[in-house]
Amino acid sequence: MHRKIALALAVVVALVAVASAGIATAAKPTVVRAGTLVLKINGGVAPKRLPKNQMAPIALHISGNISTTDAAHPPAARLVIADFDRYGTVNAKGLATCRAGELEARPTGAAKAACRKAIVGSGKTTVRVAFPESAAFHSTGPLVLFNGGVKRGVTTMYIHAYVNVPVPTAIVTRVKIKRIRKGRFGTRAIARIPVIAGGSGSVTRFAMKIQRTFRHRGKRQSYLLARCADGRFFAKGSVAFTGGPRLVGTVVRGCRIRG
């Protein structure tokens, strides 16, 4: 079983803008290139209008495509680091948690049943597998995102995927999210990605929605929160791939201040 597949690329390159709505209201995808490697990423938040001075609940939609300009098999992601605007955050305190051991070696339905109260999002992904001795093939499967809890200021998110690479496989990715103080940026997400299918697999497409409300100490809470302080959100990130390619980019998106 391959764990921590490059499915984290989806969540983290923009993670999951999770922490900031850093890819808010993007009408067209952001395109980042390194040599023949191309990453297109897009997304949006709801609602589009947010308060200026206080955090409000949001839902995040994000999708992307990884390809090459010469039709070659894309390299696999190895390390993803993303920083997000300080005007957004992940709020997991009081939300039910899930352990990696409860997700491993389980199909999607069983994983959801084991940690239903900890689900924070869902989606799907496509993996391209190109073994040297056979023709390349694609496999599409579901994604489910789970809250892994908060410890010593670090929020953990698990991404569970179930894809054929080439046999049905449950893959669990751990994403670490923490607060930082770096100018405009206030949240950092990190994922280290091991090999997929012996190095022959790479993620090519992903799409997901992250949204969860819950009650804690008698009050309604939201897993994702953001505010529109000055009409803009910022995010920057880097993705290192097998063989040396590295994608680095900054995204600036607008938001609307709710009066």
pLDDT digits (tens, 9 = 90+) for 165-188: 888 888 888 899 999 999 999 999
Check residue 217 and give left, alpha or beta (phi > 0: left; psi -120 to 50: alpha): left
CA 59 to CA 23: how far, in whole Å? 12
pLDDT, tens digit, 9 for 90 and up, residues 38-78: 988 887 778 889 999 999 999 988 888 889 999 999 988 87
Quick one: which of 101, 105, 144, 102 has its CA closest to 122?
144
CA 225 to CA 174: how far, in whole Å? 21
Task: Name the pTM for this structure.
Answer: 0.87
CA 107 to CA 179: how far, in whole Å? 32
Amino acid at 134: S
Report the DSSP beta bridge partners of residue 63: 42, 207
Q: What would the two tokens of residue 150 be?
A: 């908060």
pLDDT, tens digit, 9 for 90 and up, residues 82-118: 898 999 999 999 999 999 999 999 999 999 999 999 9
CA 21 to CA 218: how far, in whole Å? 26
